[in-house]
Amino acid sequence: MKRVMLTVAYDGTGYHGWQLQPNVITVESVLNEKLSELFGEEIRVIGASRTDTGVHALGNIAVFDTNARMPAEKVSYALNQRLPEDIRIQKSIEVPIDFHPRHQNSRKTYEYKILNREFPQPIQRLYAHFTYVPLDIERMQKAADYFVGEHDYKSFCSVNTVAETTVRTIYALTVEKQDEMITIRVTGSGFLYNMVRIIAGTLMEVGRGNLEPENIPDILNALDRTKAGPTAPACGLTLVKYQYEDEMLL
């Protein structure tokens, strides 16, 4: 028996998110089906991040166990032959049998993209949120700085969140603009349900002038979801990478 770790990239447009659910197609359901076909045995992956419907990934992580002899490094090539074009394994390696992708110390990086121009651009529509309202990225970066550090993010998670604690650490949060595309990039110890999208929605409120950067500490302290901005649409969000503390696993 060995445990294999997959780095999984996908276009979330056509999926009801990552997590297995009845009667809909999810990234997890497709991986289970194609891995089971490939190995001729029932395979069940364990995923690191349960991304929502429409959210993309360059490097989500999944592990599975198998008795098959195929070297772990070959799984990426063999599995990609069977997967639909909107899911592609980027890497496959063997990991210790007790490695669990959610129970290891890790840093996650997400990007939220906003196309800020007069009219939508069709070839960007699936991978960036569009707004014609001018956004001031200097104001957004000022607001972003208040998020960095260890905080209770209760104001920035869905009211449906089931989590032991709403304290998380954000290591970096930057707002950059290249041509007409704004990229919010955030790295943290972990993120609560909808947390990145609510941070993005709140930063947009700052960018358009509905909130001041100096309001962010008050919103954090309120521990009240209604004080923060709206949840930004899913299509702008991409899970960029997972980094585990044990560098050997990268």
- Active-site annotation, residues: 52
Q: In angstroms, give the least distance from the CB of 149 to its own copies.
A: 30
Shorter beta-carbon distance to its own copies: residue 85 or 247: 85
Smallest separation (angstroms) from its own copies to the CB of 33: 17
Considering the complex, state which of residue 127 and residue 153 has its C-beta at the smaller distance from its own copies. Answer: 127
Dist. CA 58–CA 39, nearest whole Å: 25
Q: By the criterion CB under 8 A, which residues form the site for its own copies?
A: 9-11, 56, 58, 76, 80, 85-90, 118-123, 125-127, 238
Q: How far apart are the first and last CA of the chain?
A: 22
Distance, CA of 59 to CA of 89 (rounded, Å): 9
- The residue (of 22 and 122) whose beta carbon lies closer to its own copies is 122
Q: Do residues 115 and 121 touch, judged by C-beta distance below 8 A? A: yes
Name the token pair of 147: 């998020």
CB-wise, 9 or 46, nearer to its own copies? 9
Contact 112, 196 (CB under 8 A): yes
Task: Determine how many CB atoms are found less than 10 A away from the CB of residue 133.
Answer: 10
- Tell me the closest approach of the beta carbon of residue 220 to its own copies, in angstroms: 32
Write down the least CB distance from residue 59 to its own copies, Å. 10
Phi-psi region of 75 (alpha: psi -120 to 50; beta: other; left: phi over 0): alpha
- The residue type of 141 is Q
**Going by C-beta distance under 8 Å and a sequence separation of 6 or more, which residues neighbour residue 160?**
193
Residue 136 CB, shortest distance to its own copies, in Å, is 24
Query: Cβ distance 42 to 65 under 8 Å?
Result: no
Nearer to its own copies by Cβ, of 9 and 249: the residue is 9
